Amino acid sequence: MYKKIISIAIVLGLVFYGGYLTARFLISDDLQASTGPRYSTKAVERGDIKQGVNITGQLSGNWGGSIAAPKPVGITDSNGMSVSVTYKIEEVFVEPNDMIKKGDNLVRLSAVNLGDILNELTEGIQKKQEDIQTKLSNLGKILNKDITDVSQVNAYDGIVFRAPIRGRITELTVEEGEKVENFNIATIVDDSRVKISFKVNTYEYDSLKEGQKILLQYRKATEHGTQLAFDGFYSGTITKLNKNKVPNGMTYVHTGTIEADNPGLVQPGMTVSIYTENNGAPVAALSYSGDVTSFVNEKKVSYSYLHGGENSNVVATEVYVSTNEFVEEGDLLVRIAGSDVTQLIQNEVDAITNAYEEIESIYKKIDKISELTSKLMVTAPTDGMVAYVNYREGDEIIANEQSDQWSLMLMDVYNTDEMYIYTTVSDLDVLYIAQDAPVTVTVDALPGETFEGEVMRLDSYTDYRTGETVYNVQIKVEGREGLRPGMNTNCFVDSGESLDTLLVPIEAVFEENGKQMVEVLVGENEVEAVEIEVGLMNDMYVEVLSGLEEGQLVVTGSTKDLMPSQSVPENGSILPVAN
């Protein structure tokens, strides 16, 4: 009993002594209180910061479908009869579960019965082409011009010149019954629409686009400058807007073109005031005026083969128009014809037309054979993974126009060219995710590798069971060898970065009365609370836009570990109180 009492006394003594030492360590004496707390600090420094969101999800693949042997559509013999093609599997380059890239060789086929048909058709084309060249040469001599295409000739009109565009004839160099000696027959200008060049400042560029309607005021030059040529505004359309800015004096501008209907008397050389519009009403004038540069359409009717010299018998038998007359596109201008050649021209045209039709028919047959031959090396249409292979080397497939896809199917594949991650994020993280934002993807099964991606879709819905808003994110991942549907991924959605900027540790920043604050060490052991403007932040650093300078020491912790508005009272209590 005596020994137990002594043991208990010793234990109680140790407990009280330990408590005394602990109290002395936690509660400052007068000398310690005058010295003050100790602070952990970090210098404000310059560096780079990247902000983003980390999310997780599983890879989802696309079903790539089936890869089949080509169907022999339109393959005929020399008599135009459809034929069946026997494919032989010469080589199979892949096995199930192999990863394939777009363009990779999968299966090599052969179809040997097409060679003889192709040779026969090719020889037929060569003979027809020689015949056509002879006939075109003869027709060119009759018409006193080079003929490369029979569509240039209308035998019943003789040699006819037609208006290439709708417009006004500003020049006509032939007269009825006279020889045609001038290279240029006529000049036609479509003055119904004008072309206007303009330029805009870089800050105006974003509010404009091609196809946009604008309003115009035409101005004409006077002795004292310019004045309105017509009352009111006229509509125009931006047909071209250069996205690349160019120097313009001390600044940069974007150039463009406007097309507009001619109200009647607009001529090249006029200046134009340009306004944006809303429902036909002017909104704001652009900084620069435009210039009417030309009419939209201006064409010359000219034929060099009309120069026949003194012995030329080329005569304008009929002239249908006169200078300043308005014509529609396709209207007759001048006819140069003679009844003595009409029948001869028609006979030649008919013969050439028939020969062209025969060649076209043969070419279509050859195109079908060539198309089929190019498909005998079956390649991967996209990146993916082989699901299974249906044939082996030496197997044969009989194919014709009536064959369905299943009878021609060689293999099935998954499409891994583009894979997707479907996941959800919190209402805080969604603030840092934007459409088309770049994403860095890592896969648990492929350590050390990274994959590129981007946010394809961001939407939300309300869960009717909980009433909470659910934020969905769809990420497209660039496919690469090794990726498989179902793999777990970690994604970093990049929401921005800042280079060479002021940074402080995130633990140094706190909020007080709605303001972002830090404590700055001043003097030897005094701190001052400073308001700062923050920018980007991540899990380690905060960007400081204003309020601090590089090299200042910010407090990241102290022995008091108190808010700036708290302090230790002089009575030695270990509980903080408000100042």
The DSSP annotation for 248-260 comes to ETTEEEEEEEEEE
Residues 418 and 505 in one domain: no
The domain boundary residue, chosen from 477, 498, 519: 498
| Number of structural domains the chain divides into | 4
DSSP string, 79-104: TS-B--EEEEEEEE---TT-EE-TT-
555 and 509 housed in the same domain: yes
Residue 321 lies in a domain: no
The reply to whether 473 falls in a domain is yes
What percent of the chain is predicted at pLDDT more than 90? 38
Q: Does 173 fall in a domain?
A: no
Residues 422 and 513 in one domain: no
Token pair listed for 102 = 């777009």
Predicted confidence band of residue 145 (pLDDT cuts 50, 70, 90): low
pLDDT band at 35 (very low <50, low <70, confident <90, very high): low
Q: Report which of residues 336 and 396 the model is more confident about.
A: 396
- Find out whether 564 and 511 touch, Cβ atoms under 8 Å: no
Q: 519: pLDDT confidence band, cut at 50, 70 and 90? A: very high
**Residue 270 is part of which domain span?**
193-296
547, 462: one domain = no
Q: Write the CATH number for 198.
A: 2.40.30
Same-domain check for residues 215 and 255: yes
Same structural domain for residues 492 and 537?
A: no
Is the pTM of the predicted complex or chain greater than 0.95? no
Domain boundary among 498, 520, 554: 498
The verdict on 212 and 292 lying in the same domain is yes
Residue 505 lies in a domain: yes
Which position has the higher pLDDT, 501 or 81? 501
Residue 181: pLDDT over 60: yes
Residue 142 falls within a domain, yes or no?
no
Is the pLDDT at 272 greater than 90? The verdict is yes
On whether the CB atoms of residues 483 and 57 are closer than 8 A, the answer is no
Residue 559 counted as domain residue = yes
The rounded percent of the chain whose pLDDT value lies above 70 is 85
User: 513 and 435, same structural domain?
Assistant: no
Asked which of 251, 276, 296 is the last residue of a domain, the reply is 296
| Mean pLDDT, residues 172-191 | 83
Same-domain pairing of 506 and 464: no
Q: Quick one: 491 and 508 in the same domain?
A: no
- Report the side by side order of strands in the sheet with 318-319: 159-162, 332-336, 318-319
237 in any annotated domain: yes
- Using CA atoms, how far apart are residues 237 and 216, in angstroms rounded to an integer? 10
Q: Residues 81, 83, 89, CA angle at the centre, nearest 5°?
A: 165
Residues 473 and 504 reside in one and the same domain? no
My answer on whether 263 and 248 are in the same domain is yes
Q: What is the CATH number of the domain that holds 438?
A: 2.40.30.170
- In a domain, residue 404? The reply is no
